[in-house]
Amino acid sequence: MNKTILTTCPYCGVGCGITATADEQTRHVNIAGDKAHPANFGRLCSKGSALAETLELKGRLLQPHILGQPASWEQALDWVADAFANVIRQHGADAVAIYGSGQLLTEDYYVANKLMKGFIGSGNMDTNSRLCMSSSVAGHKRAFGSDTVPGCYADFELANMIVLIGSNAAWCHPVSFQRIRAAKEARPELKVVVIDPRRTTTCDIADLHLPLAAGSDTALFNGLLGFLTSQQALNQDYIDQHTEGFTEAVGCAMHTAKPSVSAIEQVAGQCHLSQEDVLRFYQWFASTEKVMSLYSQGVNQSTSGTDKVNAIINCHLATGRIGKPGMGPFSLTGQPNAMGGREVGGLSHQLAAHIDFSNEEDINRVARFWGSARIAKTPGLAAVDLFDAIYDGKVKAVWIMGTNPVVSLPNADKVKQALQRCPFVVVSDCIADTDTTALAQVLLPAQGWSEKDGTVTNSERCISRQRRVFSPAGNAKPDWWIITQVAQRMGFDQAFLYQHPVEIFREHAALSGFENNGRRDFDISAFADISATDYDQLLPIQWPVNHIYPQGKARFFEDGKFFTPSGKAQFIAITVRPPANAPDAEYPLILNTGRLRDQWHTMTRTAIAAKLNQHKPEPFVEVHPIDAKNYHLAQNDLAVIKSRWGMIIARVQVTDNQKSGNLFVPMHWTEQYASNGRMGALVNPAVDPVSKQPESKHTPVHISAYQPAWYGFILSRRELDISAPEYWVKIKGEQFYRYELAGENQPEDWQDWVRTRLAVDTQTQWQEYQDKSLGNYRCTQLIGNRLESVVFIAEHKNLPERSWLTSLFAKDELEAQERRALLTGMPPLGVADVGTIVCACFNVGEKTISNAITEKGLKTHQEVGQCLKAGTNCGSCVPEIKALL
């Protein structure tokens, strides 16, 4: 029996609606974009489209575990409750902590926060949103008095200019990016400016790309505020009536170090940009009324992150471009429920429902609402400080839910040690083996996407339902249930007696309206009595949702009224500061980190879908050609990257998309998929002084060639246990696993080495080739005519391309000429190799596209799409197709 369910994508903050048609018996589901959902109108990106392939039970955590042994829920919950209660009894409430995630549902998040802040009585609930949105939260708070995103997605289409600052939306918010691309195709006069040290795929639609010096955004936007002032491009009425602090902000912005240097010249010098480019951007901004400034981690993840946010907002306030159609600052949220986490107060300095710890009256308000006599009175520890406190033994019990801090926190080796030292670590996850679950005493199996039920809020404040599609896997339970069971066992039963997520949602809604009277932006009190049926059928809706706006509201601040004590928006005077750690002789390069199109964070789910591993299969480091030359690195070499905090090994990609002096490493690889790819180990733990958000995009590092004695790869139909070589990467493909290898020592006997690693079956037929003088070893293993595995080893890195060999795993029988060609690693004459996969949705390779372009004379990406389908689903690969054209 097939049933169709409307739900929401579990990945990025775009928050796309999904239509899932599921067969419970086979656990098979068809995924399509929900045409009626206001976030995507039917579009999905490669990750959303591949969801069905990530739901297999293999690798799932399906049973609670205590000290590595399967346990019952009763035992595990008792264990957690007792451990927490004991630590609190002996060392006080601040000796325990919860570290949560923007991937929890609002209902899960609400009860976790209520437990820690309301009933355990400590502020020590923080979340991975600290690494993600906290600078935006702090910037909003300073400017508006509230953490409000003023605009909505429709504004992207109404704008005449879109500035993307520190955002690679083409890969990270692909569906929003497709909307912008479509708007630009319909109205080519819509200007797009991208501000990013790297030339990213997002620049594909840019009229202007400003490759500014890493960390120099405050100088650029201070300069813009000065320019708007000197060019009389201000909205003086707006400034006078609706804002405060303009004079100080402009004073700071127009401060020039040397009077002889013009303002533009100074900015160009500080940002390493040409004066023409700076001036062009400033003139366009000054002369375009409908400007949207979209920003993400290039802004937030910085020791000036909060200042960057306010420097951008200052320019919108100075021109009165906020709260009106097609204009405004817009923080693109990262995780599916980054916004919901802020609503419930998931950050350690927040209390609940956009109420923080700043005054006694507010704290009492929440205490009264919760009926708690032990509410926390002061903020708790923020993520980096929290893990330092664990390392130092001050926090003795931590519960990690829905996040993988051993990978994603800065100075990640120290985080690993902190958890190794911590007397009690409990982890709730849906995946069994992660770098963080490996360090837990107690593992709690959480229901994953397709099983869990609740709400999430996207970048434009739109609340959507995630709905259950399948019955729960194994013994997995919803996060809210796990948390409330522990709360009840800790003696807080009356406050945690929920039977269904709707009861939690109602309470959350009621708290948002409690003694609010228009003082707080977040108000969804219209849902305080929502029935179970209405909750089940809830359609996407943008908050606030209350008696004044029962249907929700697209924009805030239309009336120029803000949530500050004076009701006026605040300009913030910004002093330009350099990043915390500057490059020096020992660590001369700047390491930037970020995301890839087809992977989600620490790959626990996306790496299960073979098609998502084809675009960028291996951890890599992008190096500018000049740096490659200086550091003796060639394309596809392996390189060691070291910082004061740690090291990794990655494959060199030489590209002038990178600025010289800067390296880029994707954030995704973990110890589950690579020997030395966990990049968090490198990242410096410096944080923004206001938001406490880490500076994940700026660490001084050193790079050098890694010179192993041998290189190799194995392709195997079965998953293998590859230990021993110094460098390995595991890549799941369609019907095969690929292992990229390199080692410092040649084994005595390659045949022996290989046979102990490959599953040797009596039926297998081996072909082997070895040239000891050249250090070459190759072998293939077949069962009947079906390919089982191939191994290629050499002293150099120039091994055959993997694409043809991997394509053979799709066949049940090899043809004679294919068998003969196997050991050469090259397709027999007349057989085409598809090349690296470009379009993940339709599995179309680079060589197929290039050949079609030459043979059929294709001119546009649309023609390529008509011919091969490539680029016609999610469109994320269109820039790459254009590059091939």
Q: Which two tokens stand for residue 601?
A: 């964070």
Q: Which residue's C-beta sits nearest to ligand SF4?
A: 48
* Residue 197 interacting partner from ligand MGD, ligand SF4, Mo ion, none (CB closer than 5 to 8 Å by kind): ligand MGD
Is 446 an interacting residue with respect to ligand MGD (CB under 6 A)?
A: yes
Length of the chain: 885
Under the binding rule (CB under 6 A), the answer on residue 429 touching ligand MGD is: yes
Q: Residue numbers of the site for ligand SF4 (CB under 6 A)?
A: 9, 11-12, 14-16, 40, 44-45, 47-48, 174-175
Query: Which stretch in 183-191, 676-684, 784-792, 855-863 sits in contact with ligand MGD by CB under 6 A?
Result: 676-684
Q: How far is the CB of 304 from Mo ion (least distance, A)?
A: 18
Contact in structure between 198 and 621 (CB atoms under 8 Å): no
Q: Which residues of 530-546 are buried (b: 16+ CB within 10 A; e: fewer)?
A: beeeebeebebbbbbbb
**Shortest Cβ distance from residue 638 to ligand MGD (Å)?**
20
Whether 135 contacts 308, CB under 8 Å: yes
Q: Could you tell which of Mo ion, ligand MGD, ligand SF4, none binds residue 118, using a CB distance below 5 to 8 A set by kind?
A: none
The least CB distance from residue 707 to ligand SF4, in Å, is 39
Distances (CA, A) of 360 to 355, 366, 397, 520, 680: 11, 10, 28, 16, 38
Q: Considering only CA atoms, which of 600, 619, 671 is closest in space to residue 412?
A: 671
Evaluate whether 482 touches 81 at the Cβ level (below 8 Å).
no
Q: Nearest CA to 307 among 655, 12, 576, 544?
A: 576
Q: What's the min distance (Å) between Cβ of 545 and ligand SF4?
A: 22
Minimum separation from the CB atom of position 34 to ligand SF4 (A):
10
Which one of ligand MGD, ligand SF4, Mo ion, none interacts with residue 365, CB within 5 to 8 A by kind? none
Cβ proximity to ligand SF4: between 16 and 541 the closer is 16
Sites for ligand MGD among residues 311-350 (CB under 6 A): 334-335
CB 655 within 8 A of CB 631: no
User: 349 with 382: CB under 8 angstroms?
Assistant: yes
* Cα angle 739, 740, 743; round to 5: 115
* The only residue of 134, 148, 297, 350 in contact with ligand MGD, by rule CB under 6 A: 297
| Least Å from the CB of residue 99 to ligand MGD | 10
Question: Which residues are CB-neighbours of 733 under 8 A, at least 6 positions away?
Answer: 610, 613, 614, 715, 806, 809
Residues 6+ apart with CB under 8 A from 547: 525, 526
DSSP 307-371: HHHHHHHHHHHHTT-SSSTT-EEEEPP-STTHHHHHHHT-STTEEETTEESS-HHHHHHHHHHHT
- Contact partners, residue 741, CB within 8 Å, separation at least 6: 711, 712, 713, 714, 722, 725, 727, 728, 793
- For residues 591 and 790, which CB has a smaller minimum distance to ligand MGD in the complex? 591
Shorter beta-carbon distance to ligand SF4: residue 174 or 835: 174
Question: How many other C-beta atoms are found inside a 10 Å radius of the C-beta of residue 775?
Answer: 16
| Among 132, 149, 430, 884, interactor with Mo ion by CB under 5 A | 132
- Shortest distance in whole angstroms from residue 386 CB to Mo ion: 17
Binding-site string for ligand MGD from residue 2 to residue 21, where x marks contact by CB under 6 A and - marks none: ----------x---------
* Cα–Cα distance list, 549 to 153, 292, 513, 524, 562 (Å): 19, 25, 13, 9, 17
Report, in Å, the least distance between residue 588 CB and Mo ion.
29
Nearest approach, Cβ of 701 to ligand MGD (angstroms)? Answer: 12
Which residues touch 695 (CB under 8 Å, ≥6 apart)?
A: 301, 302, 303, 305, 410, 579, 580, 581, 684, 686, 687, 688
Check binding of 677 to ligand MGD (CB under 6 A): no
The residue among 125, 331, 322, 314 whose CA lies nearest residue 223 is 314
Of residues 60, 6, 39, the one with CA closest to residue 605:
60
Residue 298, binding choice from ligand SF4, Mo ion, ligand MGD, none, Cβ under 5 to 8 Å by partner class? ligand MGD
Residue among 334, 345, 544, 619 that touches Mo ion (CB under 5 A)? 334
- Residue window 598-617: x/- pattern of binding to ligand MGD, with contact defined by CB under 6 A: -xxxx-x-------------
Judged by beta carbon, residue 135 or residue 581, the one nearer Mo ion is 135
Interface with Mo ion: number of residues (CB under 5 A): 2
Q: Are 685 and 645 in contact (CB under 8 A)?
A: yes
Output the six-digit token pair for 833: 């190799």
Contacts of 787 (CB under 8 A, 6+ apart): 717, 780, 781, 808, 809, 811, 814, 822
448 touches ligand MGD by CB under 6 A: yes
> If you search the block for the tokens 């006599």, which residue do you land on?
373
**What is the nearest approach in angstroms of ligand SF4 to the Cβ of residue 133?**
16
DSSP, residue by residue, 645-666: S-EEEEEEEE-TTSPTTEEEEE
Residue among 817, 764, 825, 752 at smallest CA distance from 794: 825
Residue 644's contacts (CB-CB under 8 Å, 6 or more residues apart) are 581, 587, 684, 700
Q: What is the dihedral of CA 201, 205, 208, 210, to 10 degrees?
A: -20
Mark the segment that binds Mo ion (CB under 5 A) among 137-145, 248-256, 263-271, 326-334. 326-334
Q: CA-CA distance, 427 to 414, in Å (whole number)?
A: 18
CA dist., res. 181 & res. 875, Å (int): 10
Nearer to ligand SF4, 172 or 686 (CB): 172
389-428 positions binding ligand MGD, by CB under 6 A:
401-405, 407-408, 428
Please name which of 517, 463, 798, 742 lies closest in space to residue 619, comparing C-alpha atoms: 742
Would you count residue 452 as binding ligand MGD (CB under 6 A)? yes
51 vs 482 by CB, closer to ligand SF4? 51
Task: Answer yes or no: are the C-beta atoms of 441 and 426 closer than 8 Å.
Answer: yes
Span interacting with ligand MGD, options 483-491, 496-504, 678-686, 720-728, rule CB under 6 A: 678-686
Nearer to Mo ion, 80 or 132 (CB): 132
Q: With respect to Mo ion, which residue has the nearer C-beta, 136 or 485?
A: 136
- If the CB atoms of residues 195 and 425 are measured against ligand MGD, the closer one turns out to be 195
Instruction: Write out the binding residues for ligand MGD, residues 73-132 only, by CB under 6 A.
Output: 101-103, 128, 131-132
Do 457 and 341 form a contact (C-beta atoms < 8 A)? no
Partner touching 790 among ligand MGD, Mo ion, ligand SF4, none, CB below 5 to 8 Å by kind: none
- Residue placing its CB nearer to ligand MGD in the complex, 652 or 663: 663
Q: How far is the CB of 683 from Mo ion (least distance, A)?
A: 14
Nearer to ligand SF4, 335 or 350 (CB): 335
Q: What is the CA radius of gyration of the chain?
A: 27
Give the C-alpha separation, 217 to 22, whole Å.
47
Smallest separation (angstroms) from ligand MGD to the CB of 809: 26
Residue 48 binds which entry of ligand MGD, Mo ion, ligand SF4, none, with Cβ cut-offs from 5 to 8 Å by kind?
ligand SF4
Here's the x/- map for ligand MGD, 172-211, by CB under 6 A: it reads as x----------------------xxxx-x-----------
Least Å distance, CB 428 to ligand MGD, is: 4
Smaller CB separation from ligand MGD, 83 or 446: 446
Binding partner selected for residue 401 from Mo ion, ligand SF4, ligand MGD, none, CB under the kind-specific 5 to 8 Å limit:
ligand MGD
Pick the stretch among 35-43, 334-342, 470-478, 648-656 that binds Mo ion (CB under 5 A): 334-342
Binding site for ligand MGD (CB under 6 A): 12, 47, 101-103, 128, 131-132, 165-169, 171-172, 195-198, 200, 214-215, 217, 296-298, 301-302, 334-335, 401-405, 407-408, 428-431, 434, 446, 448, 452, 479, 592-595, 597, 599-602, 604, 667, 679-680, 683, 696-697
Binding site for Mo ion (CB under 5 A): 132, 334
